Amino acid sequence: MRYGWHGVLVGVAGWGLLPCAVQAQAAGAPVRPGMVDAQALSAADTGWMLTATALVLLMTLPGVALFYAGMVRRKNVLNTMASVVAIAALVSVLWFAAGYSLAFTPDTAWLGGFARMGFDGLQFDLAAGRVAVSHVAPHIPESVYAMFQLTFAIITAALVVGAFVERIRFAPMLVFIGLWSLLVYAPIAHWVWEPGGWLARMGALDFAGGAVVHVNAGAAGLACAWYLGPRRGYGREAFEPYNLGFTMAGAALLWVGWFGFNAGSALAADGRAGLAMAVTHIAAAAGALAWMLGEAVLRGKPSLLGLCSGLVAGLVAITPAAGFVTPRAALAIGAVAGLACYWGATALKRLLGADDSLDVFGVHGVGGIVGSLLTGVFASRTVGGVEGNVLTQALSVGAVLAFSLAASLVLLWMVDFALGLRVDEEGEAAGLDLSQHRERVGG
């Protein structure tokens, strides 16, 4: 859930889960996108949201691209980067065409309407001094809100790449991701973030995407890993990462960009955004230290990859909680997530038996689940105006996990049936850089 407007509109929906005071505020709030006087907008909020949008895009380009490319073998580095760049472009066009409308316009509790397809109605009339706004963020231009949300759609799809690297054909992968973005991501974003969505109305708290982004991407990643099967030689040969320095640079960009992700999800340049930034940083630090300690105790040596993974785990877990918890709670959430994701990327991974190559489920899935549940534990009425409910959070996470897993498997089957997903043996042995792009890393 984002910003006070969500809470306001949840109250309007009449579920009675929010306090009367909040419901009373809802009286004059818009319930659908529309045009307002440009003077009614907040310049400060708009400026911050423009900045936050750029920060979140930076997380993917080049953050996720570097983070993942550093971990694959030398022969698959360019394919991994190309996948992230192509996904960013593809999801952008699809978001413009339909994704934004399906996710963020009011219609049913399951899916939005078609009113904003092709960004229809995202107008700015200079002469009349009128501008379109979303009912979710009526104090900033809707163009900014749609772009901010676009960067979330991009990174969610890009995160899935980590599960299927080194063995999937490029073009069918894009077809799968395109369908997934429209048929899995957009509906889930609607359920949780559009005030009429069924999980939003139920009172599920997801400030910046613990369930929508991370549990969703983790579940889809697990589905991909299961469906595609392991890479040839998996479990028998050592898959040396190309350059963990790339991974560190990517992780650092993720850490910085996450300020836009979480503090931007306040949708305003205000005290809540400031607190969201603080808790984000504290959780990242706690996650890095917890993973490092876990690794040092169990393996005797802390690794750079462990530190990078731990900080991401902390960031993932604080994502649903950022606008609802205090800095002390953030420390606990980050530390628990660091250890839980270390378990997720090692012991749980062995248990699941899937070649989730770069641990999308182990880090994002597990981190998202931990963060979402702990949001139910630690959410403070003083910070976010609402209190958490662990059962509601568990239901929300379970619904997202189940839908994403099942729908992803269906889409994978469809694309595989139509186009074939897996590269042939020769192409996999030669590496996807050569077999899919006729390029290779120099030097």
Partner 1 sequence: MNDSDRLAIAAHLHVLLRRRTGRVTDTEWMAANADYAQEIIRFARQRAQQDDAPELAEWAAKLERATAEALAEASARKPLLERREAPAPRYVGGIR
Residues lying near partner 1 in the complex (CB under 8 A): 71, 234-241, 299, 303, 305-306, 309, 342, 345-346, 349-350, 357-359, 362
> What residue type is assigned to position 284 of the chain?
A
Report helix, strand or coil for 124.
Answer: strand
Which tokens hold the place of 313?
Answer: 């785990």
CB of 374 to partner 1, least distance (A): 22
Q: Are 438 and 430 in contact (CB under 8 A)?
A: no
Provide the 10 A C-beta neighbour count for residue 22: 18
| 337: Cβ contacts below 8 Å, ≥ 6 apart | 283, 287, 290, 313, 314, 316, 317, 318, 366, 367, 370, 371
236 vs 438, which CB is nearer to partner 1? Answer: 236
265 vs 357, which CB is nearer to partner 1? Answer: 357
Q: Are strands 124-125 and 130-133 parallel, antiparallel or unpaired?
A: antiparallel
CB of 377 to partner 1, least distance (A): 27
Q: Are 72 and 84 in contact (CB under 8 A)?
A: no
CB of 345 to partner 1, least distance (A): 5
CB of 76 to partner 1, least distance (A): 13
* C-alpha distances out from residue 358 to 317, 363, 389, Å: 18, 9, 32
CB of 240 to partner 1, least distance (A): 6
Provide the 10 A C-beta neighbour count for residue 93: 11
What residues are paired with 34 via a beta bridge?
133
113 vs 230, which CB is nearer to partner 1? Answer: 230
Assess whether the previous peptide bond of 62 is cis (omega < 30° from 0): yes
CB of 96 to partner 1, least distance (A): 35
CB of 342 to partner 1, least distance (A): 8
264 vs 365, which CB is nearer to partner 1? Answer: 365
Q: How far apart (Å, rounded) are the C-alpha atoms in residues 229 and 222?
A: 11
| 402: Cβ contacts below 8 Å, ≥ 6 apart | 219
CB of 137 to partner 1, least distance (A): 38
The closest of 260, 204, 261, 215 to 384, measured between CA atoms, is: 204
CB of 179 to partner 1, least distance (A): 28
CB of 303 to partner 1, least distance (A): 8
91 vs 308, which CB is nearer to partner 1? Answer: 308
66 vs 267, which CB is nearer to partner 1? Answer: 66
71 vs 188, which CB is nearer to partner 1? Answer: 71
7 vs 241, which CB is nearer to partner 1? Answer: 241
Q: Are 400 and 388 in contact (CB under 8 A)?
A: no
CB of 238 to partner 1, least distance (A): 4
354 vs 373, which CB is nearer to partner 1? Answer: 354
* C-alpha distances out from residue 225 to 21, 164, 218, 229, 321, Å: 47, 6, 10, 6, 28
Q: How far apart (Å, rounded) are the C-alpha atoms in residues 70 and 239?
A: 12
- Pairs from 434-438 (Cβ < 8 Å, separation ≥ 24): 434/75, 436/79, 436/82, 436/169, 436/170, 437/78, 437/79, 437/82, 437/170
Q: Are strands 124-125 and 34-37 parallel, antiparallel or unpaired?
A: unpaired
